[in-house]
Structure 1
Amino acid sequence: MNNLGIEAFLSVVHHGSLTDAANSLYLSQSTLSHRLAQLEREVGMTLIDRGRGMRTLSLTSDGQEFLTIAKRWSDLVHETTQIRTRKQNMTLSIGSVDSIQNYVLPPVFELLTTHSKKIDIRIRTQQSSELYLLLERGEIDIAFSHLEQPMPNMIIKKFYSEKMVVISKGKLLSNGKILKDKELDTSYQLYFDWNTSFKAWYDGWIGDRNYPTVHLDTAQLLLTFMDNDKKWAIIPLSMAKKLESTGEFLIYYLEDPPPERVCYQIRSRNPRASAVESLKLLDNCINSVII
């Protein structure tokens, strides 16, 4: 595959039209179309649906599958270029679940980016199971997850733990902050399946009450679904404090709380050479700001 064709394909996916993609690459539309056609001949598949009357372009089913390969190809070309040109910048690719990335790691990222040495940082947000796959394929150097999945070629260690609390926009108690089990109506709960220990606790805690009808898998969705004062969720304290700081949310504590949420740091036993020093710097930043 040629790099120009991959670049053209990814630009079309990003912009949704040949015109915008061509402009972004400073090419004529005919040149961009030629590169795409050449790429399709090389891979033997039609990647982009060019149906008449379509205001925006869409990927064919083959194009959807090829997109993952194209992104990986682009990343490999970028890394190869760094080696070939002997860049002195350190590199670091970080993967994390969003509740850790958005509510635990920001001060670490801030400290890391102010370091005197230039680091080429890439950050990806994925589900826990996907992070292990990315580490195995060498697409990321380190991951932060709330899932412990022992693997022989990985180093897994606990780096942070925190209480689980209840968050709501409404006043769930007339006074005080400690909630008893039966004081919470589970029909208004927004449920997160944080990890296996949380689920085991929850199955016993809920008793004969109804299971929640809304299950969420990303922390940001809470802002969308928490649309009235009766709704509530059980979330990590770091996330709850961030929401409380907006002035819209209140934090409560359960009389029979869940186990603390444990965050794990996972990395390969044989990291990329260009990431070794960056990983050491990341460790120093974590030790400085994570208590």
Structure 2
Amino acid sequence: MNFDEIETFLSVVQHKNIANAAIKLCIGQGTASARIQHIEQELGIQLFFRQKGIKSVTLTPEGEHFLLIARQWLSLRQQAGQIKNLLIFKELRVAAVDTLNQFHFVKIYRDFMDKNPDIQFYLQTEHSSEIHQLIESQQIDLGFVFTLHKSPNVVATPLFREIPVIMYHKNSSFHHTYQISDLLPENEIYPTYGDDYDLWHRRRFPNTDVRRISIGTFSMLRHFIDIPESWTILTQSLANIMVQENEDLAYRILDDDPPPTRITYMLQYRYPKPWIGELSRLFLEDIVKMIKENPAMELLYGSPY
């Protein structure tokens, strides 16, 4: 059974006459009859009632059922023929930790969408551990995290490195003395960085179990750092953004026994989908451009570290 035979069947149904259907299809009446007979032989059914001396034909009950299938067949063939004319959207699914999505990646996302209108973009904000799981299950294509977790099929690539700094209110005592002793623990807004940072912090600021507040994401920092005497430790790139937003804030680099640097990693599935490689490359170009333009970020991608 082929398309020509299905087309002939539908034409006979439409014109209720084999001769007229053949004329419409520009074929001989014998060819049209042969096509109908071939369908009947292949399916083992009779499609039309035929009577001698009567040119018009009507569908049998089996023919009525086949008519539904034939129309679906024709519709599917037409849809298949239109694929080349359709605007086919490729997908890129990205997840990043809150700090990156809130403070660094928004402009990259918008620029990427503008330059690639044929790409459907899916964005998520998750914790590092969850991003690893999403990559492992192939629910997302690219992930950006600060902390690494063991995942057999997740490939982590160092992207950029930043140095943490002390940010404080200009009305604080520290702003005038730059003495660590003036950074009182009860005024600290403590971020969740990781084990290395916690060890450094306990060594650098001993006996500081009492803190004003601990935060899990830096997007909350804006609501508390404007209190006089408040202080925190965050990356220099993030400090630059907050200082621009609030002229009452300032920051200082710790040259003596500085905190551990923070590395941002890009996560990918070990065996990506065929088209993801090109989309990832395009997206990564924009991220590398941002890193190169930000003096507070040290590019690690493409170089040993």
> Where in structure 2 are the equivalents of 1:143-154 lying within 5 Å?
143-154=143-154
Taking only the aligned residue pairs, the percentage that are identical comes to 20
Matched to 1:286, the amino acid is I
Q: CA deviation at 1:205?
A: 1.2
Aligned residues of 1:181 and 1:205 also touching (Cα < 8 A): no
Which residue in 2 is equivalent to 1:30?
none
Deviations 1:212-269 (A, max 9, x none): 2411111111122235111111111111111111124211223432011111111101
Which residue in 2 is equivalent to 1:157?
157
Distance 1:89 1:210 in 2: 53
Q: Secondary structure at the match of 1:95?
A: strand
- The reply to whether residue 271 of structure 1 matches residue 264 of structure 2 is no
Q: What RMSD in Å do the two structures reach over aligned CA positions? A: 2.5
Deviations 1:44-83 (A, max 9, x none): xxxxxxxxxxxxxxxxxxxxxxxxxxxxxxxxxxxxxxx9
Matched to 2:125, the amino acid is T
Distance 2:268 2:180 in 1: 39
Distance 2:198 2:150 in 1: 19
Which residue in 2 is equivalent to 1:191?
190
Distance 1:154 1:170, change over 3 A: same
Q: CA deviation at 1:169?
A: 2.8
Aligned residues of 1:168 and 1:251 also touching (Cα < 8 A): yes
Which residue in 2 is equivalent to 1:130?
130
Q: Secondary structure at the match of 1:290?
A: helix
Q: CA deviation at 1:88?
A: 1.8
Distance 1:233 1:274, change over 3 A: same
Which residue in 1 is equivalent to 2:289?
288
> Where in structure 2 are the equivalents of 1:1-291 lying within 5 Å?
88-116=88-116, 118-172=118-172, 179-246=178-245, 247-254=247-254, 255-291=256-292
Aligned residues of 2:87 and 2:118 also touching (Cα < 8 A): no
Higher deviation after alignment, 224-233 or 164-173: 164-173
Q: Secondary structure at the match of 2:253?
A: strand
Aligned residues of 2:95 and 2:126 also touching (Cα < 8 A): yes
TM-score (norm 2): 0.61
Q: CA deviation at 1:116?
A: 4.4
Distance 2:189 2:106 in 1: 25
Residue correspondences, number: 207
Q: CA deviation at 1:87?
A: 5.5
Q: Secondary structure at the match of 1:114?
A: helix
Q: CA deviation at 1:206?
A: 1.5
